[in-house]
Amino acid sequence: MVTDLTKTYRTPFRRRKVEALRGVSFRVARGEIFGFLGPNGAGKTTTIRTLMSLIKPTGGTAQILGHVLPSRAARMRVGFLPEQPYFYDYLTVPELLDLAGRLFGIDRATRKKRADFLIDRVGLGRARNQNLKKFSKGMMQRAGLAQALMNDPDLVVLDEPMSGLDPIGRKEVRDLITELRDQGKTVFFSSHILTDVESVADRVAIVARGQIQTEGTPSELVATTTISVDITMRVAGLADDKVAALVARGPGKSRRVADELHVVLPADADVDAWLAAAHADGAKVVSVSPRHESLEDLFLRHIGSADSSAAAMEGRV
Amino acid sequence: MSNSASKSSAGISPSAALGGGPLGSIGRVWAIALNTFREAARIRVLYGVVILVLMSNVLALVLGEMSIYEEQRVSRDVGLAGISIFGSLTAIFLGVFLLYGEVQRRTVHAIVSKPIQRWEFVVGKYVGMALVLTVLVGLFGAAMAAMVTYQGGGVTSALLKAVVLSWCEVLTVAASAIFFSSFSSPFLSGIFALAMFVIGRLTPDIAAATETAKSSWIRLVTKVTLEIVPDLHLYSVSGRNVDGDPVSVHGDFVSWGYVATSAGHGFLWIVGLMALAALLFSRRDFA
Ligand SMILES: Nc1ncnc2c1ncn2[C@@H]1O[C@H](COP(=O)(O)OP(=O)(O)O)[C@@H](O)[C@H]1O
Ligand SMILES: [Mg+2]
């Protein structure tokens, strides 16, 4: 749970203040995958670093697993993957995981067992004996995931876990996130890529310019507005003038592709009446689908509107 | 593969790790220290320093041959100076870069977000560095001993005491370097630590030189400066007067009591500097 977090960076030489967070509040429920979505520079990493006690907030408070931050008890139960992670490059993965395990106070035998399991799980089995120095970005990311899971955490915090990965790597991370949730863990991850968030997150917060713009389940976020109703019908065997009449009747736009006629009616049109008339004319309706604002539209709208402070205030949760 | 290991309780005994008990702290400090030792052992410059010191020892042998009566004297002087100067310079180098590097390369992020306290991290870094420096001092000392033995001399207790004192000096310098790097850049920290090293060593000379200064202001500034700088001169006593008596590693040297007192003095400085470093480091943002 995060309440009204603010962070102002001071750049000592330019004497310029950067308001990276301007009152960020949200709540993550136990056992859910929470996607923290926002464009670059939105304040995601700043929020996460504050939560990990790497930086002190200028204002506001946060609680993790019931502990008011900063809290070692909370860190005990949290796993953290930093943004663009970098680790001691003179270590091998087993050595890195051993170090992580020691810091969690895990005994030697369990450290070893857990490290072996995680190395296989993140697919670094073949790079076991290699120094991290030789790791690609994607391998570093995997090593980072493994070290974040050494303590079998209740909450996993991942800052841009999919960045720098190829499509297969992204999918593997998505699968891992889902698997962690299915094990009962809470996953909080950030991303600037919509589809990565959309495909796994149970709940999403859209952040831009240091503020939460909106928050909800993906379907909640997109189901609120119907933009239009799309209708597809077969018009084979209909005379051209009949089709033309059909088209003329509707208030919407239409397009004919071979024997199919696609009609887009505005959201407020009387769809039933229109369908009945079309049916009477001999057209066969293939599909009727309401089109909602996509998460992308929503995302773009919120990123764009964050300038106006009124919209920003409204979006604050 | 999603079933097995995740269900194990991860082997964490909450009391050991969390209780803040001394055992937990020691474990974490030690983990950081070992890792720091590992890191330092990969720094090539250190090997360069070792080679440099060994070469200067060989040079001392050659020079010693030329001065007929004094050959062991030259070896001892060069050997001890090597430990003190190269040891201290290495201490500054490590102290200035090791802590800074963690912040700069952001390796610190994955560490301090784990249940380690910031002071444990700083102390762990110091202990790791101290281990490295101890190995170096041991190597340099062994090289000097070999040289003296080769020349037919013995390893006197005076020589041993001198090495122990140099070791204390090096560890104190390392603490001051870490202290400076807990809040400033490597360049500034390096300059500060170097200044501290020089002033600390020359304290009696500076005090003597400014004693007669006309301006009371200069006298005050000098006095304050000398007070806040570790008394490194305690560790390089050969050729000086201690408690009124002249002392030399080639003749009458200080007692073990003096060594113990000076070491205690150094220990207090180290503890103080580390406490300040830990405090400053704890307040830092890692952004
Ligand atoms: N150390 C810093 N000093 C000054 N400004 C910073 C610092 N780190 C981040 N910022 C600024 O804070 C804002 C938020 O950055 P960040 O949290 O990294 O965004 P995100 O992770 O969403 O891309 C940006 O405008 C960024 O330029
Ligand atoms: Mg970021």
Kindly list the residues from chain B whose CB atom is less than 8 angstroms away from the CB atom of residue A105.
12-13, 16-18, 24, 27-28, 115
| Average pLDDT rounded to a whole number, residues B70-96 | 88
Please report the residues numbered 46 through 105 in chain A whose beta carbons come closer than 8 angstroms to any beta carbon of chain B. 46, 49, 52-56, 72-73, 75-76, 78, 80, 82, 84-88, 90-91, 99-100, 102-105
More confident residue, A243 or B130: B130
Q: Determine the pLDDT at residue B201.
A: 87
Residue A4 pLDDT level (bands cut at 50, 70, 90): low
Percent share of chain B, pLDDT over 90: 51
Please report the residues numbered 172 through 211 in chain A whose beta carbons come closer than 8 angstroms to any beta carbon of chain B. 179, 182-183
For the ranges A93-97, A99-103, A249-253, which has the lowest average pLDDT? A249-253
Atom 25 of ligand 1: nearest residue by CA position: A41
Residue B255 pLDDT level (bands cut at 50, 70, 90): confident
Q: Determine the pLDDT at residue B84.
A: 92
Residue A2 pLDDT more than 60?
Answer: no
- pTM score of the predicted model: 0.83
Residue A106 to residue B8, Cβ atoms within 8 A: no
SS (H, E, C) chain B: CCCCHHHCCCCECHHHHHCCCHHHHHHHHHHHHHHHHHHHHCCHHHHHHHHHHHHHHHHHHHHHHHCCCCHHHHHHHHHHHHHHHHHHHHHHHHHHHHHHHHHHCCHHHHHHCCCCCHHHHHHHHHHHHHHHHHHHHHHHHHHHHHHHHHCCCCCCHHHHHHHHHHHHHHHHHHHHHHHHHCCCCHHHHHHHHHHHHHHHHCHHHHHHHHHCCCCHHHHHHHHHHHHHCCCHHHHCCCCEEECCEEECCCCCCCCHHHHHHHHHHHHHHHHHHHHHHHHHHHCCCCC
Residue B287 to residue A150, Cβ atoms within 8 A: no
Residue B51 pLDDT more than 60?
Answer: yes
CA of A197 to the centre of ligand 2 (A): 15
pLDDT in tens, A202-237: 999 999 988 888 888 887 777 666 777 888 888 777
Nearest atom, ligand 1, residue A46 CA: 17
More confident residue, B176 or B153: B176
Query: Taking all residues of chain B, what is their mean pLDDT, rounded to a whole number?
Result: 86
The verdict on the CB of residue A250 being under 6 Å from ligand 1 is: no
Q: Determine the pLDDT at residue A226.
A: 72
Nearest atom, ligand 1, residue B285 CA: 1
- A149–chain B nearest CA distance, Å: 9
Residue A105 to residue B17, Cβ atoms within 8 A: yes
pLDDT in tens, B154-198: 788 888 999 999 999 999 999 999 999 999 999 999 999 999 999
> Can you list the domains of chain A with their CATH numbers?
2-221 (3.40.50.300), 226-292 (3.30.70.100)
Q: Which of A2, A40, A45 to mutate to test the pocket of ligand 1 (most atoms within 8 A of CB)?
A: A45
More confident residue, A2 or A277: A277
Highest mean pLDDT among A22-31, B16-25, B100-109, B201-210: B100-109
| Average pLDDT rounded to a whole number, residues A12-39 | 82
Percent share of chain A, pLDDT over 70: 88
Highest mean pLDDT among B115-124, B205-214, B237-246: B115-124
| Average pLDDT rounded to a whole number, residues B261-271 | 94
pLDDT in tens, A180-196: 999 999 999 999 988 88
Residue B207 pLDDT more than 60?
Answer: yes
| Average pLDDT rounded to a whole number, residues A246-255 | 71
More confident residue, A175 or A5: A175
Q: Determine the pLDDT at residue B287.
A: 80
d(CA A147, CA B168): 37
Residue B61 pLDDT more than 90?
Answer: no
pLDDT in tens, B220-245: 888 888 888 888 888 887 777 777 77
- Please give all residues whose CB falls under 5 A of ion ligand 2, grouped by chain where several chains appear: A 44-45, 83
Nearest Cα residue to A212 out of A15, A96, A87, A60: A60
- B35–chain A nearest CA distance, Å: 8
Q: Determine the pLDDT at residue A313.
A: 37
The verdict on the CB of residue B10 being under 6 Å from ligand 1 is: no
Nearest atom, ligand 1, residue A83 CA: 21
Q: Which helix (H) or strand (E) holds A59?
A: strand A59-64
Query: ipTM of this model?
Result: 0.84
Local structure of A145: helix, strand or coil: helix
Give me the residue from B42, B105, B115 closest to A72, CB to CB.
Answer: B115
Percent share of chain A, pLDDT over 90: 44
Highest mean pLDDT among A158-162, A167-171, B68-72, B155-159: A158-162
